[in-house]
Amino acid sequence: MSAPLLLAAVCLVLAALGLLVMQYGWRQSRAEQVIERLGQAKPEMIKDSRWGWLERAFLRAGLKLPSERLGLLFSLWMVLLVLSQLLGGWLFTLFALVLPPLGLHMLLGWRYRRRLRRVVHQLPQMLDQVMRSLQTGRTLGDALVKGIDNAPEPLHGALARVQRNVKLGVSLPEALDDVAELYEQEELRILALGVKVNHRFGGSASELLAGLIKVIQEREQIARQLRAMTGETRLTAVVLGLLPISMAAYILAVNPSYLMSMWLDSSGQKMLLCAFILQVLGTLMLWRMLRSI
């Protein structure tokens, strides 16, 4: 079978699979909308499923997983891989296989970290409002739900599942534990632990929240000082990560025949592939080192 016929057959099969998955996702989304309108919603707790890890990553980034379009996106990715194999060879296929998932992972991670920094920055102000509500005679659960309702974004969106779960009958410590496990942030874990201790052994909730506010502010101040002290190190890591890519782009712009001669040779392709893998590994190592400080 010739390459065009093979490509057409693969595209037709992938298009049919994409349509089937899209139709299934559309039916599922319609069913969920009907359930929500009927008021049969259930508490949102972290659960493992086939797409649980991907849904968790989107949720942490403040996005909604497009479950009804996953089949279509996966089919387009498969078509891209086939086209890369037929038109560009195995090296283009490797790029098409690695770059889309890596780009999605980096985008979700960047949005998650930026959103989490804003959540931690807004948390002491919300806890201060909860303390004021406690002084008017509210219970800790009611005051916290009221504070979440009046909190700005993205704090309101991050803690909205606590408000929803508490209204549906989940205990406040369990709801806070769920959010702390979702976002994996120490400030949220401290809040969940403090509320759990207060719920089990009693005590002054106002004093508890005042202590939490002080701890969160001190941690944030120490984090800012650490970022200022390690600014030169982080800038050096960024320069080291971008230097090989910049040099390759410069050589390609000034003397393209130098790299093209390597590209057209089988041993040169292996060298370029090895350089690409080493660049990716080096970037990941630098990123992990930056995360550790």
pLDDT tens per residue across span 241-292: 788 888 888 887 888 787 777 777 778 878 888 888 888 888 778 777 776 6
Spatial distance between the Cα atoms of 57 and 182, rounded to a whole number of angstroms? 9
pTM of the model: 0.64
pLDDT tens per residue across span 120-166: 888 888 888 888 888 888 888 788 888 888 888 888 888 888 888 88
Torsion 14-20-21-26 (CA) sign: positive
Average pLDDT over residues 17-21: 61
Confidence (pLDDT) at 165: 84
Which residue from 215, 109, 126 is spatially nearest to 162, judged by alpha carbons? 126
pLDDT tens per residue across span 34-83: 445 444 444 555 554 555 677 788 888 888 776 667 777 777 787 777 77
